Amino acid sequence: MTRPVVLIAEELSPATVEVLGPDVEVRSVDGTDRPALLAAVAEADALLVRSATLVDAEVYAAAPKLRVVARAGVGLDNVDVPAATAAGVMVINAPTSNIVSAAELAVTLILASLRNLGRADASMKQGKWERKALTGTELLGKTVGVVGFGRIGQLVAERLAPFGVHLLAYDPYVNHTRAAELGARVVELDELMRESDVVTVHMPKTPETTGLIGAEQLAMAKPTLHVVNAARGGLIDEHALVEALTSGRIAGAALDVYSSEPPSASPSAAKLLELDNVTLTPHLGASTAEAQEKAGIAVAQSVRLALAGELVPDAVNVAGGAIDDLVRPGVALADRLGQLFTVMAGEAPELLDIVIRGEIASRDVTALKLSVLRGVFRSVVTEQVSYVNAPVLAEERGITVNLETHEGTERFRNVIQVRGTLRDGEVVSVSGTLSGVDQIHKLIEVAGHPLDVTLSDHLMMIRYEDRPGQIGQYGALLGEAGVNIAGMQVSRAGDGPGAEALVILNLDQSAPRELAERIGEAIGARAIHTVDIAY
């Protein structure tokens, strides 16, 4: 029997090749040499890459035998996942390979900032001896605020505990029991900013978290505060950070990530390079020999599973097991509804009901449940969410998940509803369906409001008291910001002025959070959300 061909397009550790084993034929190609890559991939069953090889629709078209693409790392920026899904190709990565490295770097940056290590090193190399000017601060007894208490945030907390610190945690999806076990007190962001001596950020970057720590939050801080970001560039507003550092509003910062990389490419980030009280590193979170080897070994193990037709825990675009042909079109819709629910809820629900109605309810709809959970956690955790770890993430956060099926439905052939009960008893719900021959994703209910609107990539949802002139106000503000409205629908709870209105705006591009806040203030919105759907 012919052995499957595994094509390695970038340098990986010898251990990676060893794990692939003798049952496959390993070939190599320079993934940055486009013609060579397209020629070599024609006979490949699996393709292994890191960050330099672009894997797009052209590659899939040139690879009729390709079954799996594996990225030896966390990110997937260079892999076109929707195109892979359309081509029936599984995409794999190594979502936890760098979490220890990232946590250790965050702790290193905290100590470096408190003890002025960057300045001290530069000073010594200039022949100076500035002991007095470089006096630092002890970590013992200080309050450390961990913004984002997922796996990396928890690893940071574990490593900081022996230093004798007081830990605060902010995360709308935090498991309070787990936080208490690690000695952390869960608080709101404002309280964390007021009380902390050190703030370290470990959240994914989404429209809701971009600029999470800005001028308003920094204004609350102690003048002795040190801020650390080894997670994602843009979580801290760099312009506001520069202002706080230069004015003495806070004492110092240490950054490994930037809104634009390298930071010299952005005017606001470039100013950080000029400040003495900032420690900067060039995105080194995953740059350890151990993390790179873990990533290679992890994806090699997953490739073996994929080629053997077994369940692959780290597959990011294919649910394990066979999916009924009638159910399969709803998998992507379920994921998108999960993403929308998370934006609307803003925190972890205590109970999550996934309700499937219509003819698909008579089939095995487990894949829809897994896809909803994957969507729910996409923007909540820093690691990649798969169909296997999504239920684990729910369990870790104390979320009870129920799957309901009902074969009867009134308005539509099939309906997927995501309904969550929050800690205060509020119920948040969103429902969708597939429409027409092209199976267009439609949004048919949000927060009890009936709708029939396309679920596009960029949305703005506004709940407000309906009165004359409201549409004109937010339309004008969007227009001034250069954000085009591609479509909209208004649903009202009641009749006449004063009734609650819910508007769904389909936008041609993402709307910045600051713009949404201005719109909300202008019309007195009860709630406003921007949503960018990921694939």
The catalytic residue positions are: 232, 261, 283
φ/ψ of residue 426, rounded to 5: -65, 140
In one-letter notation, the amino acid at residue 521 is: E
Give the H/E segment covering residue 381. none
Report yes or no: 75 and 97 within 8 Å, Cβ to Cβ. no
10 Å CB burial of residue 12 (0-12, 13-18, 19+) is buried
Rounded Cα–Cα distance for residues 13 and 292 (Å): 8
Other CB atoms closer than 10 Å to residue 520's CB: what's the count? 18
List the beta bridge partners of residue 486: none
- Torsion from C-alpha of 441, 445, 449, 454, nearest 10 degrees: 0
CA angle 308, 313, 316 (to 5 degrees): 100
Rounded Cα–Cα distance for residues 309 and 180 (Å): 41
Report yes or no: 297 and 364 within 8 Å, Cβ to Cβ. no
DSSP for 305-317, please give it: HHHTT---TTBSS
Torsion region of 127: left, alpha or beta (phi above 0 gives left; psi -120 to 50 gives alpha):
left
The two tokens of residue 477 are 């503000």
CA angle 341, 342, 346 (to 5 degrees): 120
Closest CA relative to residue 155, chosen from 480, 381, 426: 381
Name, in order, each residue with C-beta under 8 angstroms of 405's C-beta and a sequence gap of 6 or more: 355, 356, 357, 361, 362, 365
Give the full edge-to-edge strand order of the sheet including 90-92.
25-28, 5-8, 46-49, 68-71, 90-92
Q: What is the DSSP letter of 350?
A: S
List the beta bridge partners of residue 435: 440
Report yes or no: 92 and 70 within 8 Å, Cβ to Cβ. yes
- Taking each helix axis as running N to C, give the angle between helix 366-377 and helix 389-396, from 0 to 180 degrees, rounded to the nearest 10: 60
